[in-house]
Structure 1
Amino acid sequence: MPTYSQIVWSGAMAMLMGLLIGLERQHSQKADEPLFAGFRTFPVITLTGFLAGLLAKAGFIWVLPVAMAGVCAVAVAAYYVTAQGQHKGATTEFVAILAFVLGALTAFNFVIPAATFAVVTTLLLSIKAPLHRFAEKIQEEEIYAILKFGIVTVIVLPLLPNRTFGPFQVLNPRLIWLMVVLISAVSMVGYALMRFMGARHGIAVTGMLGGLASSTATTFGLSQKAREAEDSLAKFFALGIVIASTIMFLRMLILTFVVDPHLGRALVVPIMAPALAGVGIALYLWLKKPGTQSEAGLRVRNPMDLWTAIKFGLLFAVVLFVSRAAFQYFGSSGVYIAGALAGMTDVDAFTISAARLGQENVLAASTANASILLAGAMNTLVKGGIAAVLGGRALRRVIIPLFGILFFAALVSCIVVART
């Protein structure tokens, strides 16, 4: 049995949850609208649920369903009286039933989950106007895109086996499909940010977030959008791609540090060359702001191109297999081949593998770091090609010279490290 102090604490929390929800309902009430429950009634409802839960725990199990039925009956009656034939929402009445459930949960020691639900519920209630504006703006194709993303993420991904198959035990169906999900997510997030933050800020944030996960997937997603958008937006899309690529070099450095701090320290200076070049290019693109008509020119038709994402997933699987085969057959001398091939998709797995080989003294430190830099250089070259081919003529004109600078900086660092 709970102690007296525990009962008081849980009861106080139940009352505070009711006060929070009731305060929001009272505050959002219109002057000419009757209110079923407000700042005083909601704490009473949560306390009723709490007491009913306590009695149920004490052995009077029937009290809880009876009290629940009573609250539901009162809510239905209140809606019938206040609606009076008008088209009136039933939000407050449903929230009253939820408040009773939250109060009961606190009696069963689910205080933290109940408080979390209370805060989230209050938040949803308080942003009614923005939610309605969002619902009015959303288009049919955007709903379909959300459904497609839900299918590939929630339904397909968990069904795939999370183990390796095939020669060299390198093909993992879930990992391959995860790349499809990642590209789809970048495409969806980028689309949403561009719509609600504008092209310049939305694409920049997409580049930052996407670069933390996969700069290659981000390049794919942003290049698709660039082809569909106005030519005047090419610099914005180039900015997002450059930001993602710059973050990639920093991500490679962090991964190397995690696996082998000694190897990571040796990589700091060489990898700063392409990273600082990327920062400089990004600042140049950010400060060179086009006219206001560029922002108005944002017209992206397809929120998510699933087939392009699937093609990238298949390419990822092929390159993963070939790079592992190169290392398997050519040994340490093939690490550069493996790095170049791994750079065609994404560099994280190769960075970890090369750093681990360096840590185990299978590779010399200079060889391990040079192969990591080569993977980054090749990945930069491939992303430049992706943007040039998928992004259309306007993006191609902007991206080729900029990525030429990034590639040259990474390649020079690779050659210098390899010769030391």
Structure 2
Amino acid sequence: MGNSAILSDIGLEFIQAFLLALGIGMLLGLERERNPASRAGLRTFGLVTLLGAVCALIAERTGSPWLLPVGLLVVGAMMIAAYHRQPDANDPGTTSVVALLLAFCYGAMVWYGLRTLAVMLAILTTVLLYFKAELQTVSQRLTRRDITSVLQFGVLSLVILPILPDRNFGPYDTLNPAQVWWMVVLISGVGLCGYAALRLVGQRYGAPLLGVLGGLASSTATTLVFARHARATASLTQLALVVILTANLIVLVRLAGVAAIVQPDILPALLPILGSGLLAGLAFVAWAWHRLGRAGALPELELRNPTELGTALTFAAVYAVVLLLSAALSERAGSLGLYAVALVSGLTDVDAITLSSLRLFGQGKLAAGEASTAILIAVLANLLFKLGIVAGVAGRHLALRIVGGFSGVAAGCLAGWFWA
């Protein structure tokens, strides 16, 4: 009975592995079956993943690891020969060959116990295969400046970050080059996502979406640009109100997301502040958008590339200075010193003081309440600075409308801070 139970368990393991491998292959093959030029479809992909699992099984049981690379070469040679016999000028078959080789590898991964990873990779592969037309459209719409932005972000995150030392330097033992640059990468990545979404989606989905994308890329730039539009064209005042308010609400969402990545332990103290401000601001935006009606054509929103090396270095310098000042003043003057730094730095850049506060909280130098209060002060100072931009650029008419929305956000944040 014992041997029978063992054999039964082994048989169940075989069945699960082979069925999963077959399912992965048929998922890939389903997409390839829709392509008339493809030499492989449902059956071929299903059989290839089964072959990968079988080769892995035999290689493991017989101690013959060479079976896997041989099987992979055979599959590749078979597909290349198929395309060579019936060449297609419009489809050289490279995509199908690579997809079939991946299918073989996924089958082997299933046998070796990497089932979750194999399924995830198979789904991602199918997505890449299926959205060929959309990916081509995106590629064609990218300009040289857009590609430069992606490459610059690659330099920031994959070239500079790995070579920086990951240890503390300087006074108060607060400056860590790798940590400082990781914050640069994080903020640049958020800005790049907003910039890319704005470039790809365009301005055709209305003012709220334009405010969301502009807020992700740069709330300050969005505020300035639409204040100028409101000054130049009086009919755009209500539109500018919606876009500017939305962009500055996204700042709260962005700060919550950054905190969740950098120091999730602070969220219980920080989310009531940001969430209350967001809800209050959303009510005002909904009212303003309802009054806007159909805005018609939206003005262009041109933003600066958020991944330029000069921009990254400037942010790194600002972040390092704010971090040092926060550590020094919080040690010498207590929380009041930190709040003073938050007030001054938050006027122009809420990200630097937020990241500095999160860093000090992570080092145990700040309590959650102190860090959250510093971030609140920075947010309020930043709203005051944006209001000054609107008043100085667009004039009193738009500024009076913005005051209502910003006051609602500030009141919501303060209420959340009071009850937190």
Q: TM-score, normalised by structure 1?
A: 0.74
| Aligned positions of 1:107-186 closer than 5 A | 107-186=111-190
Aligned residue for 2:297, secondary structure, equals helix
Asked whether the equivalents of residues 29 and 42 of structure 2 are also in contact (C-alpha less than 8 Å), the reply is yes
Counterpart contact for 2:30–2:42, Cα < 8 Å: yes
Task: Please say if 1:19 is aligned against 2:26.
Answer: yes
1:213 corresponds in structure 2 to none
Looking at structure 2, the residues matched to 299 and 183 of structure 1 have their Cα atoms a distance apart, in angstroms, of 20
* Residue 402 in structure 1 maps to residue 402 in structure 2: yes
Matches within 5 A, 1:13-412: 13-26=20-33, 28-30=34-36, 33=37, 35-59=38-62, 60-83=64-87, 88-199=92-203, 200-206=207-213, 210=216, 218-220=218-220, 222=222, 234-235=240-241, 237-247=243-253, 277-287=280-290, 288=292, 291-294=295-298, 297-298=299-300, 300=302, 302-304=304-306, 306=308, 307-331=310-334, 334=337, 336-341=339-344, 343-344=346-347, 345-346=349-350, 347-348=353-354, 349-350=356-357, 373-384=376-387, 393=393, 398=398, 402=402, 406=406, 410=410
- The CA deviation at 1:198 is 3.7
Assess, with a 3 A threshold, how the Cα gap between structure 1 residues 229 and 114 changes in structure 2: closer, same or farther: farther
Aligned letter for 1:145?
A: S
Q: For the Cα contact (< 8 Å) 2:252–2:274, is it kept in 1? A: no
Change (3 A) 1:334 1:222: same
CA distance in 2, matches of 1:108, 1:207: 46
Distance 1:342 1:169, change over 3 A: farther
Which moves more between the two structures, 162-171 or 394-403?
A: 394-403
Q: Give 1:244's aligned amino acid.
A: I
CA deviation string 1:172-213 (max 9, x = no partner): 3234323432442233222222233343354343367x4xxx
Local SS of the residue matching 1:292: coil
* Structure 1 residue 78 displacement after superposition: 0.7
Q: Distance in 2 between matches of 1:142 and 1:260?
A: 34
Give the Cα separation in 2 of the matches to 1:279 and 1:120: 35
Distance (Å, rounded) in 1 between the aligned partners of 2:28 and 2:87: 21
Q: Is the 8 A contact 1:384 1:400 kept in 2?
A: no
| Cα deviation 1:45-91 (Å, max 9, x = unaligned) | 11112111111112233433332222121111011122156653422
Deviations 1:17-66 (A, max 9, x none): 1111112111x223xx4x41112121111111211111111223343333
> Separation in 2 of the partners of 1:396 and 1:305?
34
In 2, Cα distance between equivalents of 1:52 and 1:372: 57
Instruction: Answer yes or no: is the 8 Å Cα contact 2:387–2:403 preserved in 1.
Output: yes
- Root-mean-square deviation (Å): 4.6
User: Structure 1: 5+ residue runs without aligned partners?
Assistant: 211-216
Q: What amino acid is the match of 1:163?
A: R
* Cα distance between partner residues in 2 of 1:43 and 1:191: 41
Q: Is the 8 A contact 2:174 2:323 kept in 1?
A: yes
Q: Aligned in 2, Cα 1:342/1:80: closer, same or farther, shift over 3 Å?
A: same
Write the distance in 1 (CA, Å) between the matches of 2:118 and 2:413: 55
Q: In terms of mean alpha carbon deviation, does 40-49 or 163-172 score higher?
A: 163-172
Q: Which residue of 1 aligns with 2:13?
A: 6
Q: Displacement, 1:149?
A: 1.0
TM-score by length of 2: 0.74
Cα distance 1:131–1:40, how it changes in 2: closer, same or farther (>3 A)? same
Per-residue deviation at 1:340?
A: 2.5
Equivalent residues of 1:14, 1:46 under 8 A apart = yes
Partner SS, residue 83 of structure 1: coil
SS at match of 1:109: coil
Is 2:241–2:401's contact at 8 Å kept on the other side of the alignment?
Answer: no
Does the C-alpha gap of structure 1 residues 194 and 289 become closer, same or farther in structure 2, counting only changes over 3 Å?
farther
Distance 2:107 2:378 in 1: 56
Note the C-alpha offset of 1:411: 8.7
List alignment gaps of at least 5 residues for structure 2.
Answer: 1-5
Percent of residue pairs identical: 28
